[in-house]
Amino acid sequence: MPAQPPYRRIVAEIRGRILTGELRPGERMPSIRQIAQRWGVAIATATRVMAALRDEGLVETRVGAGTVVSGQPSRASAPKRTLNRGHLLRTAIAIADVEGLDAVSMRRLAAELGVGPMSLYRHVATKDELVIQMVDEIFGEPELPDPGPDGWRAKLELIARLQWGLSRRHLWLARAIPFTRPMLVPNMMAHTEWTLRALDGLGLPVETTIREALTLHGLVITAALTLAQEVEAEQETGVTLDRWWLAQRARADELLRSGRFARLAAIPRETVSDLDGLFEYSLACHLDGFAARVEAHSRPRRP
């Protein structure tokens, strides 16, 4: 008889603790990282454990509380829940923030909200529409100042940093935003309109202003994707970036001592891993280049 997969043994143990009352309804579950450490398994295995417990209805994700043991009220005593769009979107965003966008499904969302799956379709027709509305909800979080700081550069710095902050809080966001097929939703459109308004009065062609808005947004998205990839790598392997560098030290030292890479050897390691610093550097260089273009455009042309 083949050995039972490790994740099933862990699921069975946690299931037993829940059914015997050792873990009570509403009690916070160990995190995926804590499961990995306690049972000595990989992050991916611990993630599978949590998914299996959720599929069995033993645990659920609650906004502001994380993953907890599910309550088990009888159908007769369970309160009837009123579903509204805001609660639906906040719950979907909370799931995506903790477990990634792939964990969001209509069935999973209905279970978290304690409603029938069909009731969700009065608010969203498909998962694609749900994701679009989630993105729009997030872009509505920050209040865009009116008129904002003086000068086009200060305004572009402000909008880029606002979007960088959103991407840091919601790591799945960058992957959910198509670049060439823009989402026609109010809050995202408000960000673009605000960016275009920041360029008013510069006398630039319309094509230049929209390309600048797209390029600035692309700069944020590129940095955000790098950040998300690093966080996902850490979650999947359980190895932080610092620990990864320590593991590579022997090989890195061997290469850098060879004398072939003298300039690389002089770079502090923390410079490479500072993604906030990389974002700020990219933003500054981009705006320096755009400032030169603005200045060139404003010069009178020679006859």
Q: Is residue 136 pLDDT above 70, yes or no?
A: yes
pLDDT over 70 percentage in the chain: 80
Give CA–CA dist 166/162, Å, rounded: 6
pTM: 0.66
Strand partners, 68: 28, 60
pLDDT band for 52, please (50, 70, 90 cuts): confident
Identify the weakest region by mean pLDDT among 14-18, 98-102, 275-279.
98-102
pLDDT band for 8, please (50, 70, 90 cuts): confident
More confident: 243 or 289: 289
Q: What is the DSSP letter of 74?
A: -
pLDDT band for 210, please (50, 70, 90 cuts): very high
Give CA–CA dist 273/155, Å, rounded: 27
Strand partners, 255: none
Give CA–CA dist 89/2, Å, rounded: 43
pLDDT band for 121, please (50, 70, 90 cuts): confident
CA distances to 6, 197, 213, 271 from 206, rounded to whole Å, are 59, 11, 11, 38
Pull the structure tokens for residue 280.
């700020």
pLDDT band for 75, please (50, 70, 90 cuts): very low
Q: Is residue 14 pLDDT above 70, yes or no?
A: yes
Give CA–CA dist 191/194, Å, rounded: 5
Q: Is residue 38 pLDDT above 70, yes or no?
A: yes
Q: Name every residue whose Cβ is closer than 8 Å to that of residue 248 and which is 6 or more positions away in sequence.
A: none
Average pLDDT rounded to a whole number, residues 225-247: 69
More confident: 199 or 42: 199
285-290, long-range: CB < 8 A, 24+ apart: 286/215, 286/216, 286/219, 287/153, 287/156, 287/157, 290/156, 290/212
pLDDT band for 269, please (50, 70, 90 cuts): low
What are the pLDDT digits (tens) for 137-146?
A: 999 988 899 8
Average pLDDT rounded to a whole number, residues 219-241: 76
pLDDT over 90 percentage in the chain: 26
Average pLDDT rounded to a whole number, residues 29-54: 84
Q: Is residue 236 pLDDT above 70, yes or no?
A: no
Give CA–CA dist 258/260, Å, rounded: 5
Q: Is residue 201 pLDDT above 90, yes or no?
A: no
Provide the b/e sequence for 214-226 (b: ≥16 CB within 10 Å).
eebbebbbebbee
